[in-house]
Amino acid sequence: MLNFDSQGLVPAVIVDDATNEVLMVAFMNQESLQLTRETGQTHFFSRSRNKIWHKGEQSGNVQDVRAIFVNCEENSLLIRIFQHGDAACHEGYQSCYYRQLLPDDRLEIVAERVFDPEDIYQTEKEEVPLSSNEDDAAVQTPLQLEQSLRQLYAVYASLRDQDRTAISNTSRLLHEKNQTFLEGRLADELSELIGVQTGEHIHTNLPEDTALEGSQVGYWLFLLAAINDLTYEQFNPHTALLQGFAGQYTTEKAVELREQCVQAVTTHNTAQLIHGLTTGFSIVGWACISAGISPLAPIEYDLEQMRRKGLVD
């Protein structure tokens, strides 16, 4: 049923069934998944400790499984749960994603700590957060995603504000401000991204094609945002992308969202434009979870192109 990786693991995105909030990301092997299904509570595999652990075993904040979903490639899970207690994070917060990345690269805690971990964990922590040297192709933190998206949008804003039309086609597009052209290209790329998931649009393979087409969708979304002088904070693409990643959309729903996106960006109304942009990024998130890749993959694809052109370090 599942395609476990070379280490015998699959990533599992844990979502609060009541609030739809992403609480944490962890890994399961075949045994921990079997325990999860048999007991009705989440069990995971710790890569750092090489052992299975029962979520909430020490803190009491166990997670009752409501439903388990498998992506189209059968290599990742989305598990909707009921969270006992007020915290899913071993640091004492409701969600593991309790910090926001600020424009100056500082991290700001934006959630209230529910308990002091020193009072709960006397021996060892229940889970070890993913670090940058331990990341997996299918799992990235919202912090990394926001940082990369901000970096990418800053490049487009710079190409808009500086006349580099002689050497940059993107700068030319941003200075021409032909919104109708950009809208048309966005509509085409959205269709191709959805086509990749349905098998109707194939270049290489599903993961690589999703990263490629997802990057193209993001490109036209960012250009539309830039020519309309939107700030990053006005549309927060990382939030929209993660909502799509955890949204459990069907293909039919993605097609419906595409129509909403295209219609919204063509109204030339700022509020509708923002709605269209966030809808577009949510489709990219849906495509990533469907293909079993990290939501960061399309962004990294674009950043790599920027690095080759000397636009980012």
pTM more than 0.85: no
pLDDT at 130 over 50: no
* CATH classification number, 10-124, choose in 3.40.50.300, 3.40.50.10860, 1.20.1260.10, 3.10.20.810: 3.10.20.810
Q: Which residue ranges does the chain devote to CATH 3.10.20.810? A: 10-124
pLDDT class for 111, splitting at 50, 70, 90?
confident
Per-residue pLDDT tens digits for 207-260: 999 999 999 999 999 999 999 999 999 999 998 998 898 888 899 999 999 999
Distance CA 28, CA 284 (A): 25
Q: How many residues does the chain have?
A: 313
pLDDT at 165 over 60: yes
Give the other-Cβ count within 10 Å of 75's Cβ: 20
Structure tokens at 183: 């809208």
> What are residue 63's DSSP bridge partners?
83
Contacts of 98 (CB under 8 A, 6+ apart): 89, 91, 109, 110, 111
Closest CA to 282 of 234, 250, 237: 237
Provide, rounded to the nearest whole percent, the portion of the chain with pLDDT above 70: 91
Distance CA 63, CA 40 (A): 8
* Least confident range of 109-113, 134-138, 173-177: 134-138
* Least confident range of 102-111, 181-190, 286-295: 102-111
Place of tokens 């969600």: 95
What number of H helices and E strands is found in the chain? Answer: 11, 8
Average pLDDT over residues 156-160: 94
